[in-house]
Amino acid sequence: MATTTPRSEGLRVDELAAWRGLLRAHALLSKRLDAALETEHGLALTSFEVLDLLGAEGEHRMRMCDVAVSVGLSRSGLTRLVDRLEREGLVERVSCPSDARGAFAALTATGRARLEAARPTHVDAVRAGLLEHVTPDELALLASVWERVVEAAPCTSPRCD
């Protein structure tokens, strides 16, 4: 019997291309961006993301727990990352007035300067790696797909198990 929809390992080849492509493209782009930020500004991609996140907040600070979820690290993973960033003087811990268990990660002036210095590298790499290769329609579609995928996901953060 003829196979009308060619399959490989239970997924059709076009399904496989969409999935494997996602893995490969992500690996490629994040490694390139990480390397560029590291060599040009001494920042790992995850570090940049934390600084960027804090920089976007009104008070330039955010609860540790929320940062962890936003950047996709475990609580302990974020503790260690903030340790490193604090050692470099880019971030500092501030105790939380309303809940003594909690702590804020707050961007320092040095951290803000480093963030701003690194932004162009970040923007250029994202443009060169992804944005330049997609049409406006495709761009909108990508965003829409991600929204559905992330929305549909059961929350995996430490908060909601």
Partner DNA sequence: AAAGATTGAAGATTCAATCTTA
Partner DNA sequence: TAAGATTGAATCTTCAATCTTT
Decide: is 117 part of the binding site for a copy of itself (CB under 8 A): no
Q: Which stretch binds DNA (CB under 7 A): 9-17, 51-59, 91-99, 132-140?
A: 91-99
Query: Which string of x and - marks every residue 62-101 that binds a copy of itself (by CB under 8 A)?
Result: ----------x-----------------------------
Report the greatest alpha carbon distance in the chain: 70
Selected binder of DNA within 64, 106, 126, 130 (CB under 7 A): 64
Binding to DNA in span 19-48, by CB under 7 A: 44, 46
CB of 7 to DNA, least distance (A): 27
The full DSSP string for the chain is: ---SS-EETTEEHHHHHHHHHHHHHHHHHHHHHHHHHHHHHS--HHHHHHHHHHHHSTTSEEEHHHHHHHHT--HHHHHHHHHHHHHTTSEEEEE-SS-TT-EEEEE-HHHHHHHHHHHHHHHHHHHHHTGGGS-HHHHHHHHHHHHHHHHHSPP-STT--
**Positions that interact with DNA (CB under 7 A):** 44, 46, 63-65, 68, 72-84, 93, 96, 99-104, 158-159
Binding region for a copy of itself (CB under 8 A): 8-11, 14-15, 17-32, 52, 55-56, 72, 119-120, 122-123, 126-127, 129-134, 138-143, 145-150, 152-153, 156
